[in-house]
Each structure stands twice: as structure tokens, then as C-alpha cells.
Amino acid sequence: NAGVTQTPKFQVLKTGQSMTLQCAQDMNHNSMYWYRQDPGMGLRLIYYSASEGTTDKGEVPNGYNVSRLNKREFSLRLESAAPSQTSVYFCASSEAGGAGGDYGYTFGSGTRLTVV
């Protein structure tokens, strides 16, 4: 099925460990995003990539790095995990346009990360 594929779905890390969350979309979207969702808070943007080859910080980028490997793939890396990074992470993509506006977002199924 067309859409956004995230892996893994669940992960438990020890404080200080590193990991990479993978995201791939097959809709030929230009823009991709990483969000985190915490209880009682709305989704918050970590990083985004407006197009292949570009990445920019969102609201909560500290402790994370990203790579837009190609048009399809956008990965999120935690170099040294901390308990404050326990969250549910969502990748999303959109055909965000300039003057043309945008056409909605497609979300991955989420990664539930626990840092102990």
C-alpha cells in the first residue's frame, strides 16, 4: 500500500544508547517531517525537510539529527538517548507547494520509544 513506512514500531533504549528511526514514503512527496507526541501535548515538530537535500530544525530539535537520504527516505537519529526523549515519534510527508499550497499530510504509524 502506498504511504509512509516507519521502523521500528517499538523500541526500548538505555540512557546514552543511540538509534536511528527510519522513514520512507512512496508518494513522491517533496516534504518530510519528524514529530514527537507526548501525553497532554500536541504533536511537535522536531525536524523537517522541504525537499531532497535540505533539512531544517523545528520546535524541539535538541538531541536529534536527521538525514534526507534521497527523496523517499528521511531518518531521525538519537545520538545519546535520554529519558526525556521517551515519546511516540511520527514521520509524515506532504506535497507542500509554494504558491500552489499543499495537499494534506500522510503519517506513518508511529514509533513508540522508551528510554530507561
Partner 1 sequence: KNEVEQSPQNLTAQEGEFITINCSYSVGISALHWLQQHPGGGIVSLFMLSSGKKKHGRLIATINIQEKHSSLHITASHPRDSAVYICAVKGPQGAQKLVFGQGTRLTINP
Binding site for partner 1 (CB under 8 A): 31, 33, 40-45, 48, 50, 56, 58-59, 88, 90, 92, 96, 98-99, 101-107, 109-110, 112
Indicate the residue among 2 and 41 with the shorter CB distance to partner 1.
41
Indicate the residue among 53 and 98 with the shorter CB distance to partner 1.
98
Question: Nearest distance from residue 16's CB to partner 1, in Å?
Answer: 27
> Looking at this protein, which amino acid is placed at residue 5?
T
Indicate the residue among 14 and 101 with the shorter CB distance to partner 1.
101
Question: Nearest distance from residue 71's CB to partner 1, in Å?
Answer: 17
Indicate the residue among 74 and 90 with the shorter CB distance to partner 1.
90
Task: In the chain, count H helices and then E strands.
Answer: 0, 11
**Alpha carbon distance 20, 99 (integer Å):** 34
C-alpha cell at 10: 517499538
Question: Nearest distance from residue 32's CB to partner 1, in Å?
Answer: 11
In 1-116, where do the E strands start and end? 4-7, 10-13, 19-25, 31-37, 44-49, 56-57, 64-68, 74-78, 87-94, 105-107, 111-115
